[in-house]
Amino acid sequence: MRPGRVLFVGCGPGAPDLLTLRAVRAIAEADVIVWSPALLDEAVVVEHARPDAELVAWPPATQHDVFGVYDRAAADGLRVVRLKGGDPTLFGELRDDLQAVRIRGLGYEIVPGVSAVAGGAATLGCEVAARGAPLLLAAAGDGVQVDSVGVVGVLGAGRDPEAIARDLAARGWPGSTPCAVLVGISRPGEIVVTCRLDELAECIEDYGCGGLTTVLAGPSLTDARPGI
């Protein structure tokens, strides 16, 4: 029996044609699909799913019911897709689900999607983040201030490692602050390396590749790790 596996799949902001090819492939291979009718029409899910796939609408299913699906995945070697609106890594409320699949010994994968921010910016025909005008993402009601940002993302980080490490340290974060150096993400041979802030410049020097390097840094990356 194959081991069970859970894929958290970004289904974009709702338009059927903003599903990525990877998302469509994941849906087509799933034994069970958990999705919300508020995020994606059932007809779209049915179009891409296998005829024998089980569809679980959430709601009316509860989080407890979803955990029950994970139990079945572990026991029966099922491949489960849980659809998330936009991109699962942006306010996808994944923490409890990731903990649940890890406890059950399930393999998992996060399939990125088109975020609502990106979709909205495209509709408006504008660029929402640019050099000298960074984007801070926060959930409604958070009251987040710049100094309390949990993660800072830096694109093209391979160009000036020392300056990037210095700028992040200037936020007042300790040298133990977790960081990740990401090179050529989603491409063949992608590199994902984690380190401390006081090791960041050296890590970028060792693994970075100019504009293809992205750095993520911040206290909330403490539990970050690649899927199993």
Q: CB–CB of 136/144 below 8 Å?
A: yes
- Alpha-carbon gap, residue 74 to 107, rounded angstroms: 9
* pLDDT value of residue 120: 87
Average model confidence (pLDDT) across the chain: 89
Is residue 55 scored above 90 in pLDDT?
yes
- CATH fold for the domain made of 5-117: Cobalt-precorrin-4 Transmethylase; domain 1 (3.40.1010)
Residue type, position 183, single letter: V
* pLDDT value of residue 148: 62
Is residue 227 scored above 60 in pLDDT?
no
- Alpha-carbon gap, residue 24 to 46, rounded angstroms: 11
Enumerate residues 6+ apart whose C-beta is below 8 A from 45: 27, 33, 35, 55, 83
Q: CB–CB of 47/28 below 8 Å?
A: no
Is residue 134 scored above 60 in pLDDT?
yes
Q: Which residues of 117-136 are buried (b: 16+ CB within 10 A; e: fewer)?
A: bbbeeeeeeeeeeeeeeeee
Task: Label residue 151 by pLDDT band (50, 70, 90).
Answer: confident
- Burial of 88 (C-beta count, 10 Å sphere; 0-12/13-18/19+): buried
- Alpha-carbon gap, residue 209 to 212, rounded angstroms: 6
pLDDT tens readout for residues 176-225: 999 989 998 877 888 889 999 999 999 999 998 777 888 988 887 776 66
Domain covering 146-221 assigned CATH 3.90.79.10 in the classification:
no
pLDDT tens readout for residues 4-31: 999 999 999 989 999 999 999 999 999 9
Across 35-41, average pLDDT = 92
* For the chain, domain boundaries: 5-117, 146-221
Distances (CA, A) of 193 to 3, 8, 30, 165: 27, 22, 30, 15
